[in-house]
Amino acid sequence: EDQVTQSPEALRLQEGESSSLNCSYTVSGLRGLFWYRQDPGKGPEFLFTLYSAGEEKEKERLKATLTKKESFLHITAPKPEDSATYLCAVPEQGAQKLVFGQGTRLTINP
């Protein structure tokens, strides 16, 4: 069964303190890995798609990287407005659905 596991479940950082979130997956024939940001009570907001090992994407203070088994979302010098839950997802093998991880709840303290 295809699985997506995110760690840590929750992370508290001070403003400016860089860190990384992890997303590990077990799916054969990866057809993309997606990162989303979700604010409380709102729908997920698309951030990045990564398709192949070694690929990197950047947006402001966020950089996503991909290996054959996992993806990292690096956050550099975060600000309080970066506080959110970050979700990753992969298409399930042979099915028209995304398998989501449980998310990492990130809190940036001023």
Nearest distance in Å: CB 110, other proteins: 27
**β 70-75/104-109 pair status:** unpaired
For residues 72-91, which are near other proteins according to CB under 8 A?
A: 87, 89, 91
> Is 110 a residue that touches other proteins (CB under 8 A)?
no
> Is 46 a residue that touches other proteins (CB under 8 A)?
yes
What number of chain residues touch other proteins (CB under 8 A)?
25
> Is 43 a residue that touches other proteins (CB under 8 A)?
yes
Query: Which of these ranges, 33-41, 55-63, 65-73, 75-83, lies near other proteins under the rule CB under 8 A?
Result: 33-41
Instruction: End-to-end CA distance of the chain: give it in Å, rounded.
Output: 41
C-alpha distances (whole Å) from 92 to each of 22, 47, 49 are: 19, 19, 15
Count of all residues that appear for the chain in the document: 110
93, 29 Cβ separation under 8 angstroms: yes
* Alpha carbon 5 to its chain's center: 10
Binding interface with other proteins (CB under 8 A): 4, 31-32, 34, 36, 41-46, 49, 51, 87, 89, 91, 95-103
